[in-house]
Structure 1
């Protein structure tokens, strides 16, 4: 079905005429009172049940109530609007001055003459006359003279064109060929006017019949129109539910540009957004296209976005292809998500996790319903998850946070199955447990991540996170990205920070003297970064962002460690003090 957008601009200056008859005012009682009385008064005079139903539906019609409101507002304007007593104040002041000069010039007369001759007073009176003589009512052209009196159901609607879009789409019915209003966008000029409704059949635009025209031709007519635009429509039979704004907000988990979408019925009606944007969904009546607006934007107009169901259907084929590639990825792709031998020796918080060889097959990301959440002083802190490729500086940032406020920030103590060394203490460097117990905990899903190195297990447990949070501290945890969705629970309410490397030329400059330090069990010498390390870091970061970017709450580019640290501190402070958007399941109604 061909659908397109009315590229009409309209403002609130509009009027509607019904060709079936004339209107008159009712001075004795208000129109609302009359409407409330008429159904009961007519009850005894109407025999047919269908006629009674018709009358009740007519008196409940939204457009009728809108017209009544307009009528009453106009009456109030006529009764209360102040009108100038005269429009020639300047000439009157000049005449008074001449009269006064012919009289005896006592102190009062001199003061009045001085006042009337003051340049500011003369300017004020001149402005008064200009305003009083000007007509500010909109000048609308007369209604067409060739209206067919037999068409008692036809409405003539005239809208004054402005820069604001009308906010409606039209379509041609494949069976009847009629051009009808397909949808009214919430908050647009058409919705606010109350004169145009879904299902109305469009007959003429500015006196030009549209029965034989395609929607694109109608758009061209509207684009060429200037000033007032007249529509001739046949009211539809479709009943509309009262317009109201639902309190439903979603976080966009993908980028969308209607200009690049061949499926959208009208590109001009589409709403562009970026991954992470918060959208207020205004209407979900259409299973394919929702109406939404950006949260916080002053404009109340809605735009079209693909519905969750439709977007998932569109991506299903391509996602299936991606999944098939992920189950048999190229060697270079597998390598980017597996710790190298040097990484295993160097980074204490990273383990060769059994699930990290490839991306997991998460659901297609479309929208996530969210609400605002502010942590109460009595609540535990939110878990802070740090994500990024090896070498990007996660450990350095974590250490700087711990040093800056050790009473506020803390980290988990990992578990291991290796033997405790003489200088180590249980619960300080590691929680030392037997290999049998470690394997039992793995089976019971007690570990977020775990891996094996030289025959010994290493891992981070859920209980170690709970232990830090129970001390009323902020738990800092750097994890591999596949674990994010398992930690996004109402218990932890994690805030995810993705640390991103700068462009490769900046890496060469800022890390030319940096080295990989030796790690947990070896005492190997530090090694400098190579060009291969830089490229692997950037490629891995891009893959992480593509696959898991919809789960990131904040992205910080570590171009300069001090700047990145300051940005992270400010961000975490806001998380504690300000309201944040979180999944609806994380709050309690």
Structure 2
């Protein structure tokens, strides 16, 4: 296929590439039909016409063409007047006829309009009341390359002026000679090379922003390309739940500037502010009603310290904080951001409370048991309270702490229980003091609670690390749990029964609800596909928790 020429001196590089493409692609084409399609497509006349136009425009763009005349219409009128005074012949009559046609006059008029217009950026005029001091006006030279300029602009609806809405921290504009850029006539987004600006300070001085590093943990996923409200999608910063972000500017109440913690790129991006995101979530779901999750009336066999309530026989299921109204607890249900700070446990400090969360039957208790067996001196669990009668083989303070119903109800009124409930006319509960007792022995306390209770444990005293034990797919559950059994009674008096399909379905559904409603409170997610593998991952997590630096809420260290 011959390459078409655009004339002497033209750049035929694109034509040569177009002509060579079919031959270059031939070894990668499987069929003759596809090869014929390629030849036909790249040999299409309309495509070559477009390439020819492109090459011509590209050639003239390099020449920086300027209009030869700025007053063609006036020149045509002068020419017609001169010709009227000449002896008329056939050529003069034809030319006068052409110059008098409306479409020719309109064409010349459009030419003059375009030729006389200045398309270069024009700086605004200098104000009359500007200070004459040398430092009042700054001339800066900003060299722009392919990097974004690092500024967003807006139009003043009254004056029509183009105002810089914000300077992105760490961007090209922010790193220029003066960071307080106030206004441009135009933002030259497509320009290359050196740009010179004359910068005039605003009459109103801005309040200097607070210095110091602020870090936040993202509690939701964010993609600026899917956010219709963001003023500039290209300037947005995408992140995922759990990412640590460094706040670079909070000057705008709606759009903060941030970057990923540890990112070597100094340029910040836009993210929705905490207040703005909370307001958007409130509009999407005006009422956030968080109810305790229903749990199965069965529990995993082999370990009985877990505080689980029966689904069928349950009368109450309350948390020690359920009746308290607090903004701290309300905002925990609106996942936006949480201010965090690095924390590393010191050798003289108590261990952090470890909270395990997961649906019934997922194997949470088995993992707890394996941890306890691996090191009984290092790990411990709470001893629950109950009002039922002590059995002959039981010891007070070992299996349970046995107390009277009156004392239990008094402790409930005094908010001494993390969780409590009633089962077959007897109370069961996990007390705050039982957690403190384990931590006081310099042990890691393994606590298993319902997920809605987690937010109430997030205090300076406990500094909890929350691990969500998640079930694998339902196909894997059917495969790995086909011989497993669970016990239907809290007191291990019922018979062990195999898992049913209903148990698998409920486990998956319960896990999905937990992760959806409380996932922003989880520090770690471990899928219990294989118990041995899950235990190794859990043990490795504990080792890192005790030796490495982690991000924790600022309130835990500065209360």
**Pairwise same-fold verdict (TM > 0.5):** yes
Structure 2 residue 159 is matched with structure 1 residue 180: no
Q: 1:349 aligns with which of 296, 300, 306?
A: 306
Aligned residues: 419
- Of 171-180 and 403-412, more deviation after overlay is shown by 171-180
In structure 1, the residue matched to 2:18 is none
Contact 1:289 1:307 in 2 (8 A): yes
State the Cα distance separating 1:339 from its structure 2 match: 2.8
Structure 2 residue 140 is matched with structure 1 residue 160: no
Change (3 A) 1:501 1:19: closer
Structure 2 residue 258 is matched with structure 1 residue 292: yes
In structure 2, the residue matched to 1:228 is 193
In structure 2, the residue matched to 1:132 is none
Change (3 A) 1:196 1:231: farther
TM-score, normalised on structure 2? 0.69
Change (3 A) 1:347 1:426: closer
In structure 2, the residue matched to 1:81 is none
Change (3 A) 1:160 1:286: closer
Change (3 A) 1:298 1:456: same
State the Cα distance separating 1:194 from its structure 2 match: 2.9
Q: 1:263 aligns with which of 229, 239, 253?
A: 229
State the Cα distance separating 1:314 from its structure 2 match: 1.1
State the Cα distance separating 1:523 from its structure 2 match: 2.6
Structure 2 residue 460 is matched with structure 1 residue 497: no
**Structure 1: how far apart are the matches of 2:241 and 2:222?**
8
1:22-57, Cα deviation, whole Å (9 max, x unpaired): xxxxxxxxxxxxxxxxxxxxxxxxxxxx99xx477x
1:309-355, Cα deviation, whole Å (9 max, x unpaired): 111111112231554xx68xxxxxx8xx2233334999651333524
In structure 1, the residue matched to 2:437 is 467
**Structure 1: how far apart are the matches of 2:143 and 2:378?**
61
TM-score, normalised on structure 1? 0.66
**Structure 2: how far apart are the matches of 1:373 and 1:387?**
23
**Structure 2: how far apart are the matches of 1:241 and 1:376?**
39
**Structure 1: how far apart are the matches of 2:504 and 2:240?**
28
Change (3 A) 1:236 1:447: same
Consecutive unaligned residues of structure 1, counting only runs of 5 or more, are: 1-17, 21-49, 65-154, 206-218, 328-333
**Structure 1: how far apart are the matches of 2:473 and 2:228?**
34
Q: 1:541 aligns with which of 490, 503, 511?
A: 511
Q: 1:339 aligns with which of 262, 285, 295?
A: 295
Contact 1:391 1:537 in 2 (8 A): yes
**Structure 2: how far apart are the matches of 1:406 and 1:423?**
22
**Structure 1: how far apart are the matches of 2:530 and 2:296?**
25
Contact 1:246 1:281 in 2 (8 A): no
Structure 2 residue 487 is matched with structure 1 residue 517: yes
* Pairing 1:156-555 to 2, within 5 Å after superposition: 157-162=141-146, 164-195=147-178, 197-203=180-186, 205=188, 219=189, 222=190, 225=191, 227-228=192-193, 230=195, 235-237=200-202, 239=205, 246-323=212-289, 337-343=293-299, 348-352=305-309, 354-355=317-318, 362-517=332-487, 519-555=489-525
1:110-145, Cα deviation, whole Å (9 max, x unpaired): xxxxxxxxxxxxxxxxxxxxxxxxxxxxxxxxxxxx
Contact 2:140 2:178 in 1 (8 A): no
Alpha-carbon RMSD: 3.0
State the Cα distance separating 1:202 from its structure 2 match: 2.1
**Structure 1: how far apart are the matches of 2:395 and 2:132?**
86
In structure 1, the residue matched to 2:313 is none
Specify which structure has the bigger relative contact order, considering alpha-carbon pairs within 8 angstroms and separated by 6 or more residues: 1
